[in-house]
Structure 1
Amino acid sequence: MAQEALSGIPHYYLYGDQGADVELDFLHMEPIRDRSGPHDWRIRPHTHPDHMQVLLVKSGGGTIRMEEQILPIPVPGILVVPAGIVHQIDFNPGTDGFVVTAALGCLKTAAASDPRLLKAAERPAVYPLEGTGVSIPAVIDTFEWLHREFIWSAPGRRTAIMAQYMRILVVMLRLNVTHDDPGIAAPDRDYDLLVRYRALLEAHFRSERSLVFYANDLAVTQARLNAACKARAGKTASDLLYERIVIEAKRYLVYTESSVAQVAHLTGFDDPAYFNRFFTQRVGVSPGAFRKQALHQEA
């Protein structure tokens, strides 16, 4: 898609949701009809800067455009839309299936045991299920089971959701192995730079807060790095760095018993008071208040 047009492409968490306050380091799932039906079965061009999507199309079909490629949607089929990829979907009316939208943090957690799972999720692709050797009933059952767990509030819900999501990633990996050419052109240089920057953040965000460090390691100027992040994620390089720190802090606050001072240290802050101000400014509540709210919601 032409570079000059990217600035006008909406960036969403879920299609049509403009709210910048959406915080989700997990995943969301819904039937295709729930969002596409009210939009006359057309999902207009947009991107998900911090989330990847995988769709199961059980019936119906249509076309999907990812970057410059327009491809028919196979039925049954799997569509993989990595974070930052501009895409548009025109479904046939009545199309049935599911959409799974996963935060990058959730994806990395699920793929931690096998780096190939992450590579498969980073490859934009349209996969038919017929003739691949993959069990179609098993794939459909996995998506349906994930949807049941997503809408229920049963004990072990989060673990069950992650288990089914990992099964989906395995399906994507096996389809990736059997398809040398998924039919999608390689992303542009801005996308490539954003992906490499995010990988570098994962390795250094606790200790390196200077964009000079990241730009030098990527062999680009700070201005070039910022331009790529704005074009593909709709945010500055600093925004992405600070968001990654906040996500890690939230994880410690929700899933560990570490004190706020300990969380500050674990996320690279020498001064707990500065960490408190940093977190409060970006989240809207103090670390202690965030922890209380999260524990109340889980209760």
Structure 2
Amino acid sequence: MSKQIAHYNGLYGDDKAQVSHTYIYSQLIAPRNRTTNWGLKPHLHGNLYQLFFLEAGQATLDAVAEPMELVTPCVVLIPAGTVHGFTFSPQVKGRSLTVAEALLDTILQVSPSILIELNSLYVLSDFTEEESFAELLNLERHIHAEMHSQLPERQLALNGYFKLLFVKLFRLLKHQERKAAGSSNRNLHYFHEFQKSVARAAPFEKKISDYARELNITPVHLNRICQAVKGKSALEIVNANTIRRAHNHLVYTSSSISEIAYTLQFADSGYFTRFFRKHTGLSPVAYRAQAYRDETHAGKVAAETQREKQLPA
């Protein structure tokens, strides 16, 4: 009835690939003409680091507590093992770059702090004159061209381009953090740090007071920030993240309700069921069944539409 969260060793959709430790792949994000929104369902790559350079159009990132509307231009950094998905508008324009995690470790071994800093999901959109989006995209195109060349010392050149690209991404991240920290309105900075911490933590691993302590603020202050930025309390945001994780397990895996409750660290399946019903209005079993019916109905509608197009006028 339900789908697994796809785990790819290669690119999206290729579940049989076994890539080498020197694997690199560069491609356009939308190589064909499209008239409707399209995307990549939530999935992960066990040994690949991905970068999405979104130049124009609309896109939604499905990898955090709530879907994030992306403002282009931006660069999305997705480390290996990070569940993520995208919805793209027909007008989206950009490129993606995929590289073996082992190769990055080798290239950046002289500066391991860069990879440590960039080993979380980030959306970079506040560019500078020195680290402009155009320059980052140009570096990606240089990598693409070098990959397909037959010039001598190609790997050395690729290593150099990757080092420069990641140094610039590292500097951009630090610039973004400094700007947020130095802003007269620190609420957004605190909220983003809270969101990242919630996304990284296991459900029920931390209390609201723990999140507040990480930010060196009080729980009352954290709640005020969440209300100001999102119109929700800190606990509501944490619970929404738990519901979203439960949704992924219910819709994309065949795990039993008891297994999902255990994975999400609920005391028992009964507590999980009550919690889920309180926040969605449905029991986990009913929610999974409804998701299956909706997907089946959508498939039938698509098939009927295709048949109608094939009928003579």
Match of 1:10 among 6, 10, 14: 6
Matched residue count: 188
Is the 1:110–1:165 Cα contact (8 Å) retained in structure 2? yes
Letter in structure 2 aligned against 1:138: E
Is 2:86 aligned against 1:89? yes
When normalised by structure 2's length, the TM-score is: 0.53
The match for 1:154 among 151, 154, 160 is: 151
Query: What amino acid is the match of 1:48?
Result: H
Identify the residue that residue 109 of structure 1 maps to in structure 2: 106
Q: Which residue of structure 1 lines up, in the alignment, with residue 42 of structure 2? A: 45
Deviation at 1:171, TM superposition (A): 2.1
Q: Give yes or no for the alignment of 1:78 onto 2:75.
A: yes
Matches within 5 A, 1:1-299: 8-12=4-8, 13-34=10-31, 41-130=38-127, 134-180=131-177, 181=192, 184=196, 185-189=198-202
Query: What TM-score results when the alignment is normalised by the length of structure 1?
Result: 0.55
Counterpart secondary structure, 2:7: coil
Asked whether the 8 Å contact 1:58–1:97 carries over to 2, the reply is yes
Amino acid at match of 1:173: F
Query: Percent same amino acid at aligned positions?
Result: 24
Q: Which amino acid aligns with 2:43?
A: H
Residues 73 and 36 of structure 1: is their aligned pair in 2 closer, same or farther, counting only changes over 3 Å?
farther
- 2:20·2:100 contact (CA, 8 Å) conserved in 1? no
Q: Give unpaired runs (5+ residues) of structure 2.
A: 178-191, 204-248, 250-313
- Is the contact made by 1:78 and 1:129 (CA closer than 8 Å) also made in structure 2? no
Distance 1:178 1:158, change over 3 A: same
Larger radius of gyration: 2
Stretches of structure 1 that go unaligned for 5 or more consecutive residues are: 191-230, 232-299
Query: Which residue of the partner structure matches residue 236 of structure 1?
Result: none
Q: Secondary structure at the match of 1:179?
A: helix
- Gap change, CA 1:19 and 1:34, over 3 Å in 2: farther
CA offset at residue 103 of structure 1?
A: 1.0
SS at match of 1:66: coil
Compared with structure 1, are the counterparts of its residues 35 and 110 closer, same or farther at alpha carbon in structure 2 (3 Å cutoff)? farther
Tell me if structure 2 keeps the 8 A contact 1:61–1:91. yes
Deviations 1:241-270 (A, max 9, x none): xxxxxxxxxxxxxxxxxxxxxxxxxxxxxx
Q: Secondary structure at the match of 1:25?
A: coil
Cα RMSD (Å) of the superposition?
Answer: 3.2
